[in-house]
Amino acid sequence: DGGITQSPKYLFRKEGQNVTLSCEQNLNHDAMYWYRQDPGQGLRLIYYSQIVNDFQKGDIAEGYSVSREKKESFPLTVTSAQKNPTAFYLCASRFSGPRQPQHFGDGTRLSIL
């Protein structure tokens, strides 16, 4: 089945530790996105990538990093510089083209130990 797979479903981070959230899609989508979701704040864009080896910062990129070495994969690293990382993280992807919607993975919940 085609889809977007995020792993792990739950992740715990210790102080000073970097953690990486995985996002893989087999939909042959061109663009991929990472969002952070906090209660009452909707979805906020962290990073997005339109093509391999290229990505742009979103509204809240500080403390996060990404890579796009393959079309199918867009991992997000939450670094120790992100002081408040506890949130629900959603990965999305879409075909290029203005009317194409985003499709979402099931999300990863990150918590601080």
Partner 1 sequence: AQTVTQSQPEMSVQEAETVTLSCTYDTSESDYYLFWYKQPPSRQMILVIRQEAYKQQNATENRFSVNFQKAAKSFSLKISDSQLGDAAMYFCAYRSANTGNQFYFGTGTSLTVIP
Q: How far is 77 from 20, CA to CA, in rounded Å?
A: 4
Angstrom distances, CA of residue 106 to CA of 18, 59, 88? 22, 22, 10
CB of 33 to partner 1, least distance (A): 8
Please say which residue, 85 or 105, places its beta carbon nearer to partner 1.
105
Residue of 95, 60, 94 whose CA lies nearest to 76? 60
Per CB under 8 A, residues contacting partner 1 are: 31, 33, 35, 40-45, 48, 50, 58-59, 88, 90, 92, 98-99, 101-107
CB of 109 to partner 1, least distance (A): 8
CB of 107 to partner 1, least distance (A): 5
13 contacts 78 by C-beta, under 8 angstroms: yes
Please say which residue, 15 or 54, places its beta carbon nearer to partner 1.
54
CB of 81 to partner 1, least distance (A): 23
46 contacts 96 by C-beta, under 8 angstroms: no
Report how far Cα 29 is from the mean position of its chain's Cα atoms.
Answer: 15
Please say which residue, 79 or 88, places its beta carbon nearer to partner 1.
88
